C-alpha cells in the first residue's frame, strides 16, 4: 500500500517536472496553469500526509519559503576563472597565434553568447541538484542553493542519467521583459527603479527571503560542464548532452573551423543581439576539443583555451554647440547638449541628455568641446566623455543655469535631489501647461475634445492659468482661437462639464500632487474619503496609511499648506467637481476589517475574485499575495494553491470559506 503511494508521489513529481520543462525551457506548455496547479496541489497534499517521502528537490519546493540570514561560504572544488577579453579581429588572431605555439594540428572553436548576469556553480549528484554556489572571488563563494531552487527553468532532477557527479556552470540572468515588468511595478508604488538587469539578477541571489527570489522572473543559462576531460571529447558535445538532460543551454552556439568563421559569428550577433530577450555584452570563444583545452591550461587568472569578445557600444565624437535647459511638468530641470549632427546607430543625433549639474561637473563638459556620444540601452544618447586634446584654448568651464529658462525664476536644488527645479509652480508657463495637460489626461479627468496643444494655446491667450479656470471657459471664448470650429469648441465645453462626474480618486490623481500616482490616489481617497480630511491630515497621520512613506507624506503636506492650492481646490468644489467619495461607495465601506490581513486563493462562486478583493479593501482590510505569520485569514475558494495550503498549515493561519467571509462582513 505504502509502496503504491510512494510511487504515486514520484510519478506526480516526474509529471510536474516534465511540464516545468516544456513550459520554461521548450516554451511550449502542454497543460494550462490551472491544471498544473491542481497537480501541484495533489502532490503537496500527499507530501503533507506522508512526510516520510519528503524530497528537497520536489517541485513543491520551488516556491521558496526559507529565510537565510547568512549564506555559508563554500570553497570551490574547481576554481572559477575569469576570462581574457578581446575587442577586434586582430586580438582574436593574436590569441590564435598564442594557442598555436602550444598545440599542433587543427583547432575548432565554439562560439557562444556571453550572458550578462551572475555566474553560478551547480553541483549534481546521482541526477539531482545538491548545491549552488556563487562565483565569489573564484576560489570560494556563497551557498545560495535555497534561492536557486526557485528558478523554474533549472532542473532539480535531471531528465535522463548523465554523470554520477559533476559541476555545471551558468549565468543567472533576468530577461528584459521580466526586468521591465519589475520596474513598472516599482514606478507604480513610487520606488526607485532597478538600474540594470545584471545587478538586479546578482542582487536577487543574495536575498534573504527565498519566496521573494521565487517571485522574480530569473533564468539560468548554462555554458560549461566541469568533468574529467579524459572521458569526453568536445565542449560542444557536453553542452548538447546537458541540454538533453534538461538544462537551458541556449541554441546560439556555433562550431567554427577557424578565426574567420568566429568573426562571422561575432558580426552576426553584434546586430542580432538587439532582438534577444536578454542582455549580452559579447561572445565567448572556446577551444572545442577538451583534450586541447587540457593541454592549454590556465594562466593565473583565466583559461588559455577561452577568450571573450566584447561588443563595442557604438561611439562617435562630435562638437557640443550649446547647453540648453528643459523644464518638466513638476518643474524639474534637465540640461540638454545640443550637438553638431552625427550619425549613431543608424540615426542622426543632435541632442543628448546631460542629466544634471553633477554629471556636467564630473566630465567637465564645456561648450565647444569635442565629446563622445554613445547610445546605450536608452533611447536618448548620452555623452560619455570629453576629448581633452581637442579642447579650444579659450574654453571656459560650464556654469550651470541659475534661472529657469522659461520664467527666469531662480532655480533651487534640494538636499539629496540630483536635479534643480523651478519653484515658480503657478507662474512658470511650462509647468502651468504641463499641470493642466496632466489634469485633462485620460487616466485623470479624461476630458474629451481638449488636447495638449489647445491647452497651451488657451494659456497663451490668457484664458486659463490653472485647471480650475477650465470650468469657467465658454464656447465664445474658445471660438476665436486659431483653427477652432464651433463644434469643437462646444465639445470642449461639454467635455469639461462632464468631467464633474469623475470619481474622487481620479480627481485626486488629476490634481498632480508630486508622488501621488494613480495607485496612491486610490489609497488616499479610500482612507480619507474627502479632500478636506486629506488636506488637514498631518505628516504623522499620513504615514500611518498603508504604503504612504515619508516622501509622499511630505509632498502632500507641502501641497496642502500652499494657499494657492487651497484656493484652487475650493474653486473646484464650487464648480461641483467630485472631492469626496460618492454616497454609494461610502455605503459599502466600513472599518470592519481594519487591521486584518487577507490572502485570497482559489475560485469563488458568489463573487468574483476581484469583487472579493474590493470588498476587503472597501472595509479597511488589507490584501497580501503571500501567506506569512501576519496573515489573519486565508479565504479559500475551490482549488486553492497547494503551496499556499501547506504554508497556511505550517504557520497555523485560519482558512475560511467565501460564505464565512460574507458572514464576517455582515456582522
Positions annotated as catalytic residues are 114
Minimum CB distance to ligand AMP smaller for 86 or for 431: 86
User: Nearest distance from residue 288's CB to ligand AMP, in Å?
Assistant: 13
13 is a site residue for ligand AMP (CB under 6 A): no
User: Nearest distance from residue 88's CB to ligand AMP, in Å?
Assistant: 17
The piece of 212-220, 222-230, 362-370, 408-416 that touches Zn ion (CB under 5 A) is 408-416
404 is a site residue for Zn ion (CB under 5 A): yes
Q: Which of residues 171-190 bind ligand AMP (CB under 6 A)?
A: 171
Minimum CB distance to ligand AMP smaller for 285 or for 597: 285
User: Nearest distance from residue 94's CB to ligand AMP, in Å?
Assistant: 18
Q: Taking Cα atoms as reference points, which of 594, 581, 570, 439 lies closest to residue 511?
A: 439
The piece of 92-100, 109-117, 446-454, 488-496 that touches ligand AMP (CB under 6 A) is 109-117
Interior angle at CA 398, CA 396 and CA 401, nearest 5 = 140
Judged by beta carbon distances under 5 to 8 A according to partner kind, the member of ligand AMP, Zn ion, none in contact with residue 404 is: Zn ion
- How far apart are the C-alpha atoms of 468 and 571, rounded to whole Å? 6
236 is a site residue for ligand AMP (CB under 6 A): no
Label each residue of 544-609 as H, E or C: HCCCCCHHHHHHHHHHHHCHHHHHHHHHHHHHCCCCECCHHHHHCCCCCCCCCEEEEECECCCCCH
C-alpha 262 chain-centroid distance: 34
DSSP 70: S
The piece of 72-80, 256-264, 406-414, 553-561 that touches Zn ion (CB under 5 A) is 406-414
Spatial contact of 236 and 288, defined as CB atoms under 8 Å apart: yes
Of the chain, the end-to-end C-alpha distance in Å amounts to: 48
- How far apart are the C-alpha atoms of 496 and 480, rounded to whole Å? 18
Q: Which of 284, 337, 373, 455 binds ligand AMP (CB under 6 A)?
A: 284
Judged by beta carbon distances under 5 to 8 A according to partner kind, the member of ligand AMP, Zn ion, none in contact with residue 114 is: ligand AMP
Q: Which of residues 56-95 bind Zn ion (CB under 5 A)?
A: none
Total residues in contact with Zn ion, by rule CB under 5 A: 7
- How far apart are the C-alpha atoms of 158 and 128, rounded to whole Å? 6
User: Nearest distance from residue 133's CB to ligand AMP, in Å?
Assistant: 13
- How far apart are the C-alpha atoms of 279 and 273, rounded to whole Å? 8
User: Nearest distance from residue 202's CB to ligand AMP, in Å?
Assistant: 10
Distances (CA, A) of 516 to 327, 447, 506: 20, 20, 11
Judged by beta carbon distances under 5 to 8 A according to partner kind, the member of ligand AMP, Zn ion, none in contact with residue 83 is: ligand AMP
Q: Which of 12, 63, 83, 92 binds ligand AMP (CB under 6 A)?
A: 83
Q: Which of 428, 450, 581, 634 binds Zn ion (CB under 5 A)?
A: 428
- How far apart are the C-alpha atoms of 160 and 575, rounded to whole Å? 73
- Contacts of 129 by beta carbon, 8 Å cutoff, 6+ apart: 57, 122, 123, 145, 148, 149, 154, 155, 156, 157
User: Nearest distance from residue 109's CB to Zn ion, in Å?
Assistant: 59
Judged by beta carbon distances under 5 to 8 A according to partner kind, the member of Zn ion, ligand AMP, none in contact with residue 167 is: none
Minimum CB distance to ligand AMP smaller for 99 or for 548: 99
Q: Which of 37, 112, 374, 425 binds ligand AMP (CB under 6 A)?
A: 112
Q: Which of 406, 580, 617, 618 binds Zn ion (CB under 5 A)?
A: 406
User: Nearest distance from residue 564's CB to ligand AMP, in Å?
Assistant: 55
- Contacts of 393 by beta carbon, 8 Å cutoff, 6+ apart: none
Q: Which of residues 124-163 bind ligand AMP (CB under 6 A)?
A: 135
Minimum CB distance to ligand AMP smaller for 145 or for 224: 224
- How far apart are the C-alpha atoms of 576 and 95, rounded to whole Å? 76
Minimum CB distance to ligand AMP smaller for 119 or for 147: 119
User: Nearest distance from residue 551's CB to ligand AMP, in Å?
Assistant: 36
Q: Which of 25, 163, 411, 422 binds Zn ion (CB under 5 A)?
A: 422
- How far apart are the C-alpha atoms of 450 and 108, rounded to whole Å? 66
Spatial contact of 176 and 119, defined as CB atoms under 8 Å apart: no
Spatial contact of 37 and 31, defined as CB atoms under 8 Å apart: no
Residue 403 three-state SS: strand
Query: Which strands, in side-by-side order, build the sheet including 633-636?
Result: 622-623, 597-601, 633-636, 654-656
User: Nearest distance from residue 552's CB to Zn ion, in Å?
Assistant: 24
Pull the grid cell for residue 617. Answer: 479593501
Total residues in contact with ligand AMP, by rule CB under 6 A: 12
C-alpha 388 chain-centroid distance: 37
- How far apart are the C-alpha atoms of 130 and 133, rounded to whole Å? 10
Minimum CB distance to Zn ion smaller for 201 or for 432: 432
Minimum CB distance to Zn ion smaller for 237 or for 562: 562
Minimum CB distance to ligand AMP smaller for 256 or for 473: 256
Binding site for ligand AMP (CB under 6 A): 82-83, 112, 114-115, 119, 135, 171, 223-224, 284, 308
Amino acid at each position: 500500500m505504502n509502496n503504491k503511494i510512494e510511487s504515486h508521489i514520484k510519478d506526480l513529481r516526474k509529471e510536474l517536472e516534465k511540464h516545468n520543462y516544456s513550459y520554461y525551457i521548450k516554451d511550449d506548455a502542454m497543460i494550462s496553469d490551472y491544471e498544473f496547479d491542481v497537480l501541484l496541489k495533489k502532490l503537496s497534499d500527499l507530501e503533507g500526509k506522508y512526510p516520510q517521502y519528503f524530497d528537497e528537490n520536489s517541485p513543491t519546493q520551488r516556491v521558496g519559503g526559507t529565510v537565510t540570514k547568512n549564506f555559508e561560504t563554500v570553497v570551490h572544488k574547481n576554481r572559477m576563472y575569469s576570462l581574457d577579453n578581446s575587442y577586434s579581429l586582430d586580438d582574436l588572431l593574436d590569441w590564435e597565434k598564442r594557442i598555436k605555439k602550444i598545440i599542433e594540428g587543427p583547432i575548432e572553436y565554439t562560439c557562444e553568447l556571453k550572458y550578462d548576469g551572475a555566474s553560478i556553480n551547480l553541483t549534481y549528484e546521482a541526477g539531482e541538484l545538491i548545491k549552488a554556489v556563487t562565483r565569489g572571488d573564484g576560489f570560494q563563494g556563497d551557498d545560495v542553493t535555497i534561492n536557486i531552487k526557485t528558478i523554474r527553468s533549472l532542473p532539480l532532477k535531471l531528465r535522463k542519467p548523465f554523470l554520477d557527479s559533476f559541476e555545471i556552470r551558468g549565468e543567472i540572468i533576468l530577461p528584459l521583459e521580466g526586468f521591465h515588468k519589475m520596474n513598472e511595478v516599482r514606478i507604480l508604488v513610487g520606488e526607485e527603479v532597478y538600474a540594470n538587469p545584471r545587478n538586479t539578477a546578482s542582487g536577487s541571489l543574495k536575498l534573504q527571503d527565498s519566496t521573494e527570489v521565487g517571485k522574480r522572473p530569473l533564468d539560468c543559462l548554462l555554458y560549461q560542464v566541469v568533468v574529467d576531460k579524459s572521458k569526453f571529447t568536445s565542449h560542444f558535445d557536453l553542452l548538447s548532452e546537458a541540454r538533453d538532460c534538461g538544462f537551458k543551454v541556449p541554441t546560439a552556439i556555433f562550431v567554427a573551423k577557424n578565426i574567420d568563421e568566429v568573426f562571422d559569428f561575432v558580426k552576426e550577433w553584434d546586430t542580432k543581439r538587439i532582438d534577444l530577450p536578454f542582455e549580452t555584452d559579447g561572445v565567448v570563444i572556446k577551444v572545442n576539443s577538451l583534450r586541447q583545452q587540457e593541454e592549454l591550461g590556465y594562466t593565473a587568472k583565466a583559461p588559455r583555451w577561452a577568450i571573450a569578445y566584447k561588443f563595442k557600444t557604438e561611439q562617435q565624437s562630435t562638437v557640443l554647440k550649446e547647453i540648453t535647459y528643459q523644464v518638466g511638468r513638476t518643474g524639474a530641470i534637465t540640461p540638454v547638449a545640443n550637438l553638431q549632427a552625427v550619425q549613431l546607430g543608424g540615426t542622426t543625433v543632435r541632442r543628448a541628455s546631460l542629466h544634471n549639474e553633477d554629471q556636467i561637473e564630473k566630465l567637465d563638459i564645456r561648450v565647444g568641446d569635442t565629446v563622445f556620444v554613445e547610445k546605450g540601452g536608452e533611447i536618448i544618447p548620452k555623452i560619455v566623455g570629453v576629448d581633452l586634446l581637442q579642447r579650444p584654448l579659450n574654453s571656459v568651464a560650464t556654469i550651470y543655469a541659475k534661472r529657469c529658462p522659461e520664467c527666469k525664476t531662480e532655480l533651487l536644488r534640494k538636499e539629496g535631489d540630483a536635479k534643480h527645479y523651478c519653484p515658480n509652480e503657478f507662474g512658470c508657463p511650462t509647468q502651468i501647461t504641463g499641470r493642466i495637460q496632466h489634469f485633462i489626461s485620460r487616466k485623470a479627468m479624461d476630458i474629451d475634445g481638449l488636447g495638449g496643444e489647445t491647452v497651451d494655446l488657451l494659456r497663451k491667450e490668457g484664458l486659463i492659468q490653472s485647471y480650475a479656470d477650465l470650468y469657467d471657459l465658454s464656447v465664445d471664448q474658445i471660438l476665436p482661437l486659431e483653427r477652432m470650429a464651433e463644434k469643437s469648441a462646444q465639445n470642449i465645453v461639454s467635455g469639461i462639464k462632464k468631467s464633474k462626474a469623475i470619481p474622487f480618486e481620479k480627481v485626486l490623481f488629476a490634481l498632480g500632487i508630486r508622488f501621488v500616482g494613480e495607485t496612491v490616489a486610490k489609497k488616499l481617497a479610500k482612507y480619507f474619503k474627502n479632500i478636506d480630511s486629506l488636506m488637514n491630515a498631518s505628516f504623522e497621520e499620513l504615514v500611518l496609511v498603508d504604503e504612504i512613506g515619508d516622501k509622499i507624506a511630505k509632498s502632500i503636506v507641502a501641497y496642502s499648506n500652499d494657499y494657492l492650492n487651497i484656493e484652487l481646490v475650493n474653486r473646484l468644489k464650487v464648480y461641483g467637481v467630485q472631492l469626496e467619495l460618492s454616497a454609494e461607495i461610502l455605503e459599502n465601506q466600513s472599518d470592519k476589517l481594519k487591521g486584518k490581513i487577507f490572502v485570497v486563493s482559489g475560485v469563488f462562486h458568489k463573487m468574483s475574485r476581484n469583487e472579493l478583493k474590493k470588498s476587503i479593501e472597501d472595509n479597511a482590510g488589507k490584501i497580501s499575495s503571500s501567506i506569512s505569520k501576519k496573515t489573519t485569514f486565508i479565504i479559500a475558494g475551490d482549488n486553492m494553491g497547494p503551496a499556499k495550503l501547506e504554508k497556511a498549515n505550517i504557520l497555523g493561519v485560519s482558512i475560511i470559506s467565501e460564505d464565512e467571509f460574507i458572514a464576517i462582513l455582515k456582522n
